[in-house]
């Protein structure tokens, strides 16, 4: 027998409107409530902001506790991978160390010279306030590249602060709660950072790709950029101090310019949050 239109309407009505003995709320009522919440989120309704913030505090803390077993599995997985690649890593590190030793001497001289020159041209100096935070949650979600840290407005975290790991930029603070904050990683599709590509002092914008690398946008001549160029923050826009290292340029098979980040974002445990303020 062909199901008639009436059967369809009855089935829909029964599914969405009627509530069974075990259900306290009807489905349609809760869907309506969700839509109201979405609309309030969109229009940044002030009244629910506080409720939302406290709800997030509870969710982050509970999520941290619930994630503990998976975190141990994750750590075990990474240490197993590290062990399997130990010899290869050792050889590579040995070679790198030799090169770095020779470069270090040059660097010391260049840093001293740079400081002297900056004083000569009276460039703005920055004062830095550093706050160290623990990564509470790092979901590595494919849709939003971000993580939660255990410092919030109570510890004077502010929106837009730079987040660093071992001196390399990893992202910026995009949401501040009382005890926690959310950091948007450089790899997120919505991350846009003004950068400087050296050597050559090429100014550009680096955006995230949603995967493990970044993308360079808005530059005139691609020929000036080659592999092994280093990407630094440019300081344009005043969000970050200039010269924070980000990553290395890489060209893919199609000669597209990509940024290979210095930091492995899946391995972040502790980060440094810095607010750069210009000294008068």
Q: Which residues bind other proteins (CB under 8 A)?
A: 3, 7, 10-12, 14-16, 19-20, 22-27, 30-31, 33-38, 40-42, 48, 52, 55-56, 59-60, 62-63, 66-67, 70, 74, 77-78, 137, 139-144, 146, 175, 182, 189-190, 210-212, 266
CA distance 155 to 223: 46
Q: For the beta carbon of residue 225, count every other beta carbon within 10 angstroms.
A: 17
- Among 242, 234, 240, 232, smallest CA distance to 276 is for 240
**Minimum CB–partner distance for residue 1 and other proteins (Å):** 11
Task: Please say which residue, 67 or 242, places its beta carbon nearer to other proteins.
Answer: 67
Task: Please say which residue, 177 or 229, places its beta carbon nearer to other proteins.
Answer: 177
**Minimum CB–partner distance for residue 54 and other proteins (Å):** 10
Length of the chain: 280
Compute CA distances 279 → 114, 150, 162, 274, whole Å: 18, 29, 18, 15
**Minimum CB–partner distance for residue 147 and other proteins (Å):** 10
**Minimum CB–partner distance for residue 40 and other proteins (Å):** 8
Report the run of H or E that residue 5 belongs to, with start and end: helix 5-16
Task: Please say which residue, 85 or 266, places its beta carbon nearer to other proteins.
Answer: 266
Task: Please say which residue, 25 or 109, places its beta carbon nearer to other proteins.
Answer: 25
CA distance 117 to 41: 50
CA 12 to chain CA centroid, nearest Å: 43
């Amino acid at each position: 027998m062909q199901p008639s239109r009436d059967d369809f309407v009855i089935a829909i009505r029964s599914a969405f409107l009627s509530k069974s003995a075990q259900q306290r709320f009807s489905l349609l009522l809760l869907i309506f409530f969700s839509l109201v919440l979405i609309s309030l989120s969109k229009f940044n309704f002030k009244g629910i902001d506080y409720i939302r913030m406290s709800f997030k505090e509870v969710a982050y803390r509970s999520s941290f506790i619930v994630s503990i077993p998976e975190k141990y599995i994750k750590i075990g997985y990474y240490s197993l991978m590290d062990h399997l690649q130990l010899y290869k890593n050792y050889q590579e590190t040995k070679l790198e160390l030799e090169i770095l030793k020779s470069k270090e001497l040059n660097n010391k001289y260049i840093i001293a010279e740079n400081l002297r020159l900056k004083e000569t041209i009276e460039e703005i100096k920055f004062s830095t306030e550093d706050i160290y935070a623990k990564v509470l949650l790092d979901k590595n979600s494919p849709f939003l590249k971000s993580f939660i840290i255990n410092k919030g407005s109570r510890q004077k975290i502010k929106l837009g602060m730079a987040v660093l790991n071992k001196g390399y930029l990893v992202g910026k603070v995009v949401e501040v709660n009382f005890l926690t904050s959310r950091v948007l990683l450089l790899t997120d599709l919505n991350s846009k950072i003004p950068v400087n590509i050296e050597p050559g002092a090429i100014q550009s914008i680096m955006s995230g790709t949603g995967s493990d690398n970044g993308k360079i946008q808005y530059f005139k001549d691609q020929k000036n950029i080659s592999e092994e160029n280093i990407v630094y923050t440019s300081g344009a826009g005043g969000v970050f101090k200039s010269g924070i290292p980000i990553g290395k340029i890489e060209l893919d098979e199609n000669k597209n310019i990509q940024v290979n980040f210095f930091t492995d974002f899946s391995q972040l445990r502790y980060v440094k949050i810095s607010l750069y303020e210009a000294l008068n």
